């Protein structure tokens, strides 16, 4: 589904990522782990063409070259990103954002179907029913913002979901809800998920199929869920010694 080859990413004169190699297929869950500043968030942003980043290499999605595509075009292909700190958009209500996005995808939804879908999603996410009439992420707690972003995701039905520390700001019960929603959505759609996380509880609930360690601007090690236990036990310093 997603293929990244020899990707180098810079911001101004500063090189942030080098020689990134990554392949993600449908129905897989990939977790990126690594110390702060390793470039994990930058990788997510580069996939969706953040304007401050300059990219060289290959990024394809379902066989289509998206390296130089604009963010809106990439999103329409079916990639959805939830940032660590979702943006607040004053003056725009959730219902306006979601219905406009559906229209842009050529998947308009009449108000009756929309309301029915929303009530179902609100119950699944355990959010108040008046969320749909609130401004996007405005005056919401960290956990509420993450659930609000998941609400939009459920409507837009992306094929690839990028999650940048979605567990930050969530209490134990909210982590369980988020994990359950993501697993059920993947079961229904066979979507792929790439997440950045170091929280043992979320990783245990999601059961990643692939684990990648990012250090020194690149991916230094690939593995499976057993690698998570090794990281949690030894820390990243152990892997940095392997680079010496």
244: confidence class by pLDDT, cuts 50, 70, 90: very low
Q: Read off the pLDDT of residues 153-210 as tens digits, 9 standing for 90 and up.
A: 999 999 999 999 999 888 999 999 999 999 999 999 999 999 999 888 999 999 999 9
Give the CA distances from residue 132 to residues 33, 119, 176, 200, in Å, rounded to whole numbers and listed in that order: 34, 9, 22, 31
**Annotated domain spans of the chain:** 2-241
CATH of domain 2-241: 3.40.50.300
Q: Read off the pLDDT of residues 65-114 as tens digits, 9 standing for 90 and up.
A: 999 999 999 999 999 999 999 999 999 999 999 999 999 999 999 999 99
Residue 32 Rama label (left phi>0; alpha psi -120 to 50; beta): beta
Q: Which two tokens stand for residue 83?
A: 């940032």
Of 62, 76, 60, give the one whose Cα is nearest residue 4.
Answer: 60
- What integer pLDDT is reported at residue 36 of this predicted model? 87
Handedness of CA 64, 68, 74, 76 (dihedral sign): negative
Q: Provide the whole-model pTM.
A: 0.93
């Amino acid at each position: 589904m997603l293929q990244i080859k020899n990707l180098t990413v810079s911001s101004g004169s500063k090189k942030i990522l080098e020689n990134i190699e990554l392949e993600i297929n449908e129905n897989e869950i990939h977790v990126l782990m690594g110390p702060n500043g390793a470039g994990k968030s930058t990788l997510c942003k580069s996939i969706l063409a953040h304007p401050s980043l300059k990219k060289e290499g290959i990024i394809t999605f379902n066989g289509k070259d998206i390296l130089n595509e604009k963010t809106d075009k990439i999103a329409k292909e079916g990639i959805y990103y939830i940032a660590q700190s979702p943006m607040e958009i004053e003056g725009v209500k959730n219902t306006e954002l979601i219905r406009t996005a559906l229209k842009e995808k050529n998947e308009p939804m009449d108000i009756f179907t929309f309301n029915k879908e929303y009530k179902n999603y609100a119950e699944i996410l355990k959010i108040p029913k008046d969320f749909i009439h609130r401004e996007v992420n405005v005056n919401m707690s960290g956990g509420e913002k993450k659930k609000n972003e998941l609400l939009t995701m459920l409507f837009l039905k992306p094929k690839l979901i990028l999650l940048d520390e979605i567990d930050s700001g969530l209490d134990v019960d909210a982590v369980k809800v988020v994990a359950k929603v993501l697993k059920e959505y993947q079961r229904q759609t066979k979507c792929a998920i790439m997440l950045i996380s170091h929280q043992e509880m979320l990783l245990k609930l999601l059961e990643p199929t692939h684990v990648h360690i990012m250090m020194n601007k690149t991916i230094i090690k690939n593995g499976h869920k057993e690698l998570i236990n090794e990281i949690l036990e030894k820390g990243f310093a152990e892997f940095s010694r392997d680079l010496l």
